[in-house]
Amino acid sequence: MGIWSEYGEFWKVTRRNFKTTGALLPSSPFLARALAAELEGPRPAGRILEVGPGTGVVTKAIARRMKPGDHLDCVELNATFADSVRELVRSHRAFSGKRDRVEVITSGVEDLPGTDVYDYIVSGLPLNSFPAALVRRIFEALARLLKPGGVVSYFEYVLVRELQKPFVNKDERRRLHRVGKIVGQYITEFQVRREHVLMNVPPAVVRHLILKPKRAARRGDSSAGS
């Protein structure tokens, strides 16, 4: 799919579902690369979850960084987007040699079952468009799904809450304030790295969080002796 047809497809879905897509355009390749950056370099094979792939720009960036033995699940709430990512996985060269290790699940991430499943989570969710209670549920789900020591990478548009506040009503200001508080707590406690991406409309900041520290090995667990 060329860039203009990708924009056209994204727009067709987003104009009817703005509350869940939260964006007018898909992410730029620069933002996609920053979101997938934790997968670069030497590392053991692992399980990767992409949340909210949309038309698949970040999915392609993840696929290009997949190592032998990696497995990628993509969870997408919108059935039209989920189908187009399935088609992308079938047809795009970024997935060649990896197609049987990529699965697309039509669901909200908060409803995915399991605990300590993924080494990496890459999220494109528009948290600032969501009710505060949903943002809390989503962070709880990400923490449950992530293995200890695993990394979640996500983005926010720069100053998105501050720029909206003067133009919205009291209820919406209150919602933005609550979302900011929840997100801020997670950033303060768990952020390990961040990167500004100016080459995106609008500019964004990518945040990398370790939501659960690696458990210390219990006595008798280690390979050091029996």
Residues that bind ligand SAM (CB under 6 A): 20-23, 26-27, 51-54, 57-58, 75-78, 81, 108-110, 124-126
Q: Minimum Å distance from CB 94 to ligand SAM?
A: 15
Complex with ligand SAM: residue 2 or 170, whichever CB lies closer: 2
Complex with ligand SAM: residue 111 or 162, whichever CB lies closer: 111
Phi, psi dihedral angles at 122 (to 5 degrees): -115, 115
E-state strands within 169-203: 191-197
Q: Minimum Å distance from CB 41 to ligand SAM?
A: 22
Q: Minimum Å distance from CB 71 to ligand SAM?
A: 18
Complex with ligand SAM: residue 125 or 183, whichever CB lies closer: 125
Question: Containing H/E element for 50?
Answer: strand 47-51
Q: Minimum Å distance from CB 200 to ligand SAM?
A: 9
225 Cβ contact partners less than 8 Å away, ≥ 6 residues apart: none
Task: Report the side by side order of strands in the sheet with 118-123.
Answer: 102-106, 71-76, 47-51, 118-123, 146-157, 204-209, 191-197
Question: Containing H/E element for 208?
Answer: strand 204-209
Complex with ligand SAM: residue 46 or 108, whichever CB lies closer: 108
Residue nearest to ligand SAM (CB): 52
